[in-house]
Structure 1
Amino acid sequence: MAGPTTAERGERRKAESGPPRPPLLRRLPRLRTLIILIVGVMLAGGAAAWVLYLSPWLRVEEVPVSGVDVLTEREVREAADVPVGSPLMSVDTAAIEARLRQKLPRIDSVDVVRSWPHGVALDVTERTPVLIVEDDGNDESGENDKQDGKFVEVDDDGVRFATVPKRPEGVPLLELTVSHEAGLRRFPADRLVREAVRVAGDIPAAVARDTRTLRVRSYDSIVLELSGGRTVTWGSGEKGRAKATTLTALMKASPKARDFDVSVPTAPASSGS
């Protein structure tokens, strides 16, 4: 007997498999899986937010301070005003940094870092004075309230950042002795202070230890007054490294000299004994 034809076999398979499934029924398992994933993500996010912002586990309990020298840890903590007890995640580190810079001008830079799970660490870098000037006694209103024996520290950027009752050891006193008003119009006092700072940074270390006063007469007339009544005519702040090298060699060649001139480093001079 002949078997079923190809057409008959096709009809039989269609009958056994039943009618085709609607497209919506085929999508339901995928849609259900997607919904489960979304709900899972939302639950995980909610749990994480609760742990970070509402739980009692991740709250500020400690404010460690490092890097202080002149300032005290207590001064830094009080100026920072870190909200102890608040969620660590909600602490505004930028606001803390701004408060520290505003309240403590001695601070050059500060890193405010969340120290999980319970701390906000403050790593301070203080400004270092390279010169001091006598306090002119002028407050922000322009009124004079000068107090004798007060000095203002100046850092290597020319920033006047702190008033101290006595001269710091090893820091030269800056004196501006510009004789003509025209000179100040051409080179304002702030510009002359920056030049003085520039010179202070170029002075050889051995000479810097003996420098008592850095006197600025004009932009290109800066004189160092050393211990023992010795002087160094430095000139302007230009070619500072060459002048430093020349001064070191000149002092070795003329150890008993009292006056040194390196304003032109290629033609130095010394005199006195």
Structure 2
Amino acid sequence: MSRWKRSKRDAWAKDSAKAKAPSTHGRPMLRRLAWLGGLVGVLVAGLVFLFFYSAAFVVRDLSVTGVEGELADSVEAHAQIPHGRPLARVSQANVEARVLEDPRIASVEVIRDWPSGITLDAHPRKAALVLRQKDATWLADTNGVVFDEVSEPSRKLPSVRVPEPPTEMSEETVRGLVELWRLRPDPAELEGRLGTPRLASDGAVSMKVDQLTIVWGAPVEAERKWAVVKALVGQDSIDPQGGIPQTIDVSIPETPVVTGLPEASQN
């Protein structure tokens, strides 16, 4: 075999061996990636421990805003956030649910004040109606929620006499009573002063404007019923200030019934 052919064969063998041999060029990169991955894992584990389990960021201060006095104390007590609990482990949803167990609170926001505080921003319900039942007096809001029993409600609030404990009434009924009063006409339009509405055991409402009795029926369709009442009161034959007791029944507003009308004069 000639020297040239042998040299060519040896070169081909070297190239083939290099092609078959495993490359070590990528090993340093893999080692660096593995090292970075381990470092990231350590950092994540450290952060989890720092925020969720260490004493670095724990509840030391708890404040309540939006309400005062006994109601603020109730918010704090219902929240059940112990001092020393890591802030990251305080469940906002659970705290809110517990605070809202007090029906006087309409909403609450749980705010983490890093590094060691929590603020409970509470919003109380606003009374729109007083419900009186025997010796008990309750407050209700515009949503129909009966939320507090009181001894001396504001005289600026309208009141309704009810036959059963207000806490057992449906929110729909209470909302209807709120709407009844909210949409009431001015005294000039009614030609008299509107008295305290009464809710009977059958769910029907009645009230008086001086000598005129209004049979309202179920506390629904307030706007339509008041429109019918105003139209009827505007007639000369109906006079809340007259000496003859009269009744307007708008329990079915499409077909109102009037009783006590004076007899037509005969010429």
Bin of the TM-score, shorter chain as denominator length: 0.5 to 0.7
The one of 184, 192, 195 equivalent to 1:207 is 184
Is 1:161 equivalent to 2:147 in the alignment?
Answer: yes
Residues 91/198 of structure 1: CA separation in 2 closer, same or farther (3 Å cut): closer
Residues 35/117 of structure 1: CA separation in 2 closer, same or farther (3 Å cut): same
CA distance in 2 between counterparts of 1:69 and 1:214 reads 33
Question: Which residue number corresponds to residue 123 of structure 1?
Answer: 121
Question: Which residue number corresponds to residue 233 of structure 1?
Answer: 215
Give 5+ residue unaligned stretches, structure 2.
187-192, 242-246, 262-267
Give 5+ residue unaligned stretches, structure 1.
137-147, 178-188
> What is the alpha-carbon root mean square deviation over aligned residues?
4.2
Kept after mapping to 1: 8 A contact 2:229/2:248: yes
Question: Which residue number corresponds to residue 65 of structure 2?
Answer: 66
CA distance in 1 between counterparts of 2:162 and 2:228 reads 24
Residues 73/248 of structure 1: CA separation in 2 closer, same or farther (3 Å cut): farther
Question: Which residue number corresponds to residue 206 of structure 2?
Answer: 223
Measured after TM superposition, the shift of residue 62 of structure 1 is 3.5
Q: Secondary structure at the match of 1:76?
A: helix
Structure 1 length normalisation: TM-score?
A: 0.65
Amino acid at match of 1:152: W
Amino acid at match of 1:207: R
Amino acid at match of 1:203: L
Q: Secondary structure at the match of 1:213?
A: coil
1:157-212 Cα offsets, whole Å, 9 max, x none, are: 554432211234313133229xxxxxxxxxxx956x55641422322536389765
CA distance in 1 between counterparts of 2:174 and 2:48 reads 51
Amino acid at match of 1:34: L
Identity, % of aligned positions: 25
1:189-241 Cα offsets, whole Å, 9 max, x none, are: 956x5564142232253638976533123546311356x67643212234333
Kept after mapping to 2: 8 A contact 1:59/1:87: yes
Residues 113/172 of structure 1: CA separation in 2 closer, same or farther (3 Å cut): same
CA distance in 1 between counterparts of 2:79 and 2:54 reads 24
The one of 197, 214, 219 equivalent to 2:174 is 197
Q: Secondary structure at the match of 2:82?
A: coil
Is 1:176 equivalent to 2:163 in the alignment?
Answer: yes
Question: Which residue number corresponds to residue 50 of structure 2?
Answer: 51
Equivalent positions of 1:8-23 (< 5 A) are 11-12=10-11, 15=14, 19-20=18-19, 22-23=21-22
Equivalent positions of 1:29-178 (< 5 A) are 29-54=28-53, 57-68=56-67, 72-102=71-101, 104-134=102-132, 150-156=136-142, 158-169=144-155, 170-176=157-163
Structure 2 length normalisation: TM-score?
A: 0.66
